């Protein structure tokens, strides 16, 4: 098929109130695993070593906590309908609305009469149903027990007790009742957002989200609708649910979720909501939508008569994978990233790798070709919403051309036999260098559910000619530059003291916002104090030190390796600028990797390098040595980048990438010089030659 475009996305995940924060947490390797909120309401925690198995469960997980906010009036919901109903209904509505806004609605076209809503969700214990049971069954049982223990209680006494018990609970009334019906999750979204296509819920356990998306794609391709709002929700990590997982032996006793690690001992449960807006690719192009990624195909399969109804089956997972790549019309050999189910249950992880190896092959010397990871290591296992978290993460990875990291995988489980596959476990944030001539970056997303239901989606980046994506969700850089100017040294000191005073009394400052404010005040005055800072605290400390030094009259310049610079007589105002392009000996592993992730123009140079060598029979991919996989062997580390056939290519490419970036920043040299192979780039920079 031509493909289904993801034109809008939104999420509410642990530690992430929105899409940008979710991506920033991923690339910054921030874990959102923690203890439940204080008002969580679970029973006292029990010793993990207890022999009383029905009392063994781990309290840590991926909780939303204070991020669970909903303004009923904003969405036309009566406030009295919220308290006592199921929170999933309302937070799903909030995230669905945000997904449509992200898709450009109402500015961009959306045929509301032909927009479907398909939501994956579980039908197990949740807050709303717990409240319902307490109002009915639990209170009735309590009253019967009281009557047996205290036969002297009159009917009036028991009615009074019943009234007090009900007053202690959230309400249950005609307004809250609809919020306890499962399919009203999708119905409320369709109602409040005025969407008139079909709406319904899907329960396929942990595969719910991908199955919902598969159904939506089928409806789009069959012409039954023009857009689909699909996603999944899981908002109740109730202690009763954890006890069920504990009975199954699924929870980590060490409170750490370690996908594919040799010490993996179970999963941790999480909460979250994720939504995507889907359109046929040709429609999205025509209507001017931003396209995060393209879904090429989804495959699903059941395990059939496996060992157990809840035990994973490599045959069932393999069948889902094969159906996905058949539907997509692409070879698994073209996949650069797998977002695995990766629950950190040892049996599940080993089974998943068995299925992957059967479909992707043994590697044949291509170990380290395809990255594997699991977002569960950061946010927990979101059960029905697990697949949507993985899909959103993967779509953003394709959009930004970044290979996202997985946490807590220190040493791969030897039972995975990863050395017999083309895979590696990606534990670092890395640029996604791609040299496949004629093929876009591609990725796979897996979600496997209890009951033997398996799903896999194949995604690829959206390629539109030679246009480079500049709409970045990287909200934070490692450092920011601050330039404080003044006509005199005293002016610089005065302005610096104002900033220092502001920093001393402010809280929760975003460094990039402060840098923008400070640098927008920069002018052509001759005195400049420049500071490179990694945080507000770092800036406060360095600024205090700089001001102290500037108040010493004999100090005419500051050149501090920590990132502080000042000159009474700036060199740039009088001299000319020269570029010196280095040659062999200047290369190092992961050089310019940070710039590759922030500037497409830099990454594109390394893409071109790989693409050039991919045309050669048996040719090496230089990026394998420049940006080696984190778990690769020593031959692809420092030793590889010092090979002459790699060193020259790496240096020339890095020189070109930096030159392109400096040109983008309008920094132009008056003279250029090259050392060794750097002479090639100096000739090109001077306009003497053009390197193809």
Catalytic residues: 206, 341, 381
Least Cα distance to 428 among 580, 617, 631 occurs for 631
> How many of the other CB atoms lie within 10 Å of CB of 551?
11
Q: What is the DSSP letter of 36?
A: P
Task: Say if CB 316 and CB 303 are below 8 A apart.
Answer: yes
Task: Determine the distance from the C-alpha atom of residue 297 to the mean position of all C-alpha atoms in its chain, rounded to a whole number.
Answer: 21
Task: Say if CB 297 and CB 327 are below 8 A apart.
Answer: yes
> How many of the other CB atoms lie within 10 Å of CB of 321?
26
Cα 45 to Cα 239: distance, rounded to the nearest angstrom: 10
> How many of the other CB atoms lie within 10 Å of CB of 666?
6
Nearest 5°: the CA angle 131, 212, 242 is 40
Nearest 5°: the CA angle 114, 93, 300 is 65
Task: Say if CB 421 and CB 369 are below 8 A apart.
Answer: no
Q: What is the DSSP string of 293-347?
A: EEEEEEEEEE--S-S-SSS--HHHHHHHHHHHHHHHT--GGG--EEE------HH
Nearest 5°: the CA angle 89, 92, 94 is 110
* Helices and strands, counts by H and E, the chain: 22, 19
CA atoms within 13 A on the CB side of 159: 3
- The CA-atom distances, in angstroms, between 647 and each of 268, 521, 534, 548, 607 are 45, 43, 31, 45, 16
Q: What is the DSSP string of 668-683?
A: --SEEEE-TTHHHHHH
Cα 278 to Cα 417: distance, rounded to the nearest angstrom: 37
Task: Say if CB 7 and CB 24 are below 8 A apart.
Answer: no
Q: Taken in order 344, 349, 353, 356, is the CA torsion positive or negative?
A: negative
Task: Say if CB 292 and CB 396 are below 8 A apart.
Answer: yes
């Amino acid at each position: 098929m031509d493909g289904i475009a993801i034109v809008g996305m939104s999420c509410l995940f642990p530690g992430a109130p929105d899409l940008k924060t979710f991506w920033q947490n991923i690339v910054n390797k921030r874990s959102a695993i923690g203890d439940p909120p204080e008002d969580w309401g679970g029973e006292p925690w029990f010793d993990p070593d207890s022999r009383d198995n029905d009392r063994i469960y781990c309290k840590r997980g991926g909780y939303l906590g204070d991020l669970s906010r909903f303004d009923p009036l904003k969405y036309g919901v009566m406030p009295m309908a919220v308290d006592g109903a199921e929170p999933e209904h309302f937070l799903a509505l909030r995230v669905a609305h945000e997904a449509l806004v992200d898709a450009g609605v109402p500015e961009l076209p959306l045929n509301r009469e032909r927009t479907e809503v398909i939501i994956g969700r579980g039908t197990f214990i949740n807050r709303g149903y717990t409240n319902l049971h307490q109002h009915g069954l639990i209170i009735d049982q309590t009253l019967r027990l009281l009557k047996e223990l205290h036969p002297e209680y009159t009917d009036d006494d028991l009615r009074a007790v019943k009234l007090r018990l009900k007053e202690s609970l959230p309400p249950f009334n005609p307004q809250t009742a609809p919020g306890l019906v499962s399919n009203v999750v999708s119905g409320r979204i369709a109602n409040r957002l005025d969407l008139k296509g079909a709406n319904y819920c899907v329960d396929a356990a942990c595969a719910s989200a991908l199955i919902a998306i598969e159904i939506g794609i089928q409806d789009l391709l069959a012409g039954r609708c023009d857009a689909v709002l699909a996603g999944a929700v899981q908002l109740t990590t109730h202690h009763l649910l954890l006890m069920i997982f504990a009975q199954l032996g699924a929870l980590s006793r060490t409170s750490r979720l370690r996908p594919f690690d040799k010490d993996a001992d179970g999963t941790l449960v999480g909460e979250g909501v994720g939504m995507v807006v889907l359109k046929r690719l040709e429609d999205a192009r025509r209507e001017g939508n931003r396209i995060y990624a393209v879904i090429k195909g989804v495959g699903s399969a059941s395990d059939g008569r496996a060992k157990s109804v809840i035990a994973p089956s490599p045959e069932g997972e393999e069948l889902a994978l094969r159906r996905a790549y058949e539907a997509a019309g692409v070879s698994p050999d073209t996949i650069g990233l797998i977002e695995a189910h990766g629950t950190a249950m040892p049996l599940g992880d080993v089974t998943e790798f068995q299925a992957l190896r059967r479909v992707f092959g043994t590697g044949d010397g291509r170990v380290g070709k395809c990255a594997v990871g699991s977002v569960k290591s950061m946010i927990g296992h979101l059960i029905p919403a697990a697949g949507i978290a993985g899909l959103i993460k993967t779509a953003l990875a394709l959009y930004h051309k970044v290979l996202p990291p997985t946490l807590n995988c220190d040493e791969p489980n030897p039972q995975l036999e990863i050395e017999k596959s083309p895979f590696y476990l990606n534990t670092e944030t890395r640029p996604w260098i791609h040299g496949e001539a004629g093929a876009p970056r591609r990725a796979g997303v897996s979600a496997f559910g209890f009951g033997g239901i398996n799903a896999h989606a194949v995604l690829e980046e959206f390629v539109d000619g030679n246009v480079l994506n500049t709409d970045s969700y990287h909200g934070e850089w490692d450092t920011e530059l601050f330039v404080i100017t003044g006509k005199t040294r005293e002016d610089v000191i005065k302005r610096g003291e104002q900033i220092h005073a502001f920093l001393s009394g402010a809280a929760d400052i975003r460094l990039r916002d402060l840098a923008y404010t400070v640098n927008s005040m920069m002018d052509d005055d001759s005195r400049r104090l420049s500071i490179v800072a990694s945080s507000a605290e770092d800036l406060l400390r360095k600024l205090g030190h700089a001001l102290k030094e500037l108040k010493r009259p004999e100090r005419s310049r500051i050149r501090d390796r920590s990132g502080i610079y000042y000159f009474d007589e700036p060199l740039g105002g009088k001299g000319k600028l020269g570029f010196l392009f280095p040659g062999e000996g200047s290369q190092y592993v992961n050089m310019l990797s940070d710039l590759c992730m922030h500037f497409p123009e830099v990454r594109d140079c390394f893409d071109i390098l790989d693409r050039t060598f991919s045309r050669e029979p048996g040719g090496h991919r230089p990026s394998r040595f420049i940006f080696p996989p984190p778990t690769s062997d020593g031959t692809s580390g420092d030793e590889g980048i010092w090979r002459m056939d790699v060193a020259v290519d790496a240096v020339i490419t890095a020189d070109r990438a930096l030159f392109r970036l400096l040109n983008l920043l309008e920094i132009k040299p008056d003279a250029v010089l090259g050392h060794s192979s750097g002479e090639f780039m100096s000739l090109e920079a001077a306009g003497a030659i053009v390197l193809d």
